[in-house]
Amino acid sequence: MTRAPLLLGVVGLLAPALAGCGTSNVDTAGMERQLQQRITRELELEPGEVKAECPREAEAKAGNTFTCTLRYDDDELVLDITLQEGGRYQATPRTATTP
């Protein structure tokens, strides 16, 4: 059974963007942890089963966009991340694929 449709159902989220300490870049490593934790909790998976990958550098500016990728087993979900005012972000699923 594939869980890609399940990933789609729980990812459209609005969350803190986590600015890097003393920088104007987003803490994308922290964002990866947030995404992994949320999906793990929502799908009742074991810690470490979901992997997230975001760019190493992203300017912490409202309106800035970039992609992150979530992986679980053979499923992959690409998220469009849009930074918003107040240090928050919107994660919107782009595609779900299974090889």
Percent of the chain whose pLDDT exceeds 90: 24
| Alpha-carbon radius of gyration of the chain | 13
Note the pLDDT of residue 65: 94
Range 35-64 average pLDDT: 90
Residue 94, pLDDT > 90, answer no
Buried b (16+ CB within 10 A) or exposed e, 12-27: ebeeebbeeeeeebbb
pTM above 0.85, yes or no: no
52 has pLDDT over 50: yes
DSSP state, residue 85: G
- CA nearest 64: which of 39, 46, 89? 89
pLDDT of the residue at 23: 57
Give me the pLDDT at residue 81, please: 92
Mean pLDDT to the nearest integer, 63-78: 91
**Neighbouring C-beta atoms of residue 41, cutoff 10 Å:** 12
Residue boundaries of the structural domains of the chain: 4-97
Lowest mean pLDDT among 20-24, 44-48, 82-86: 20-24
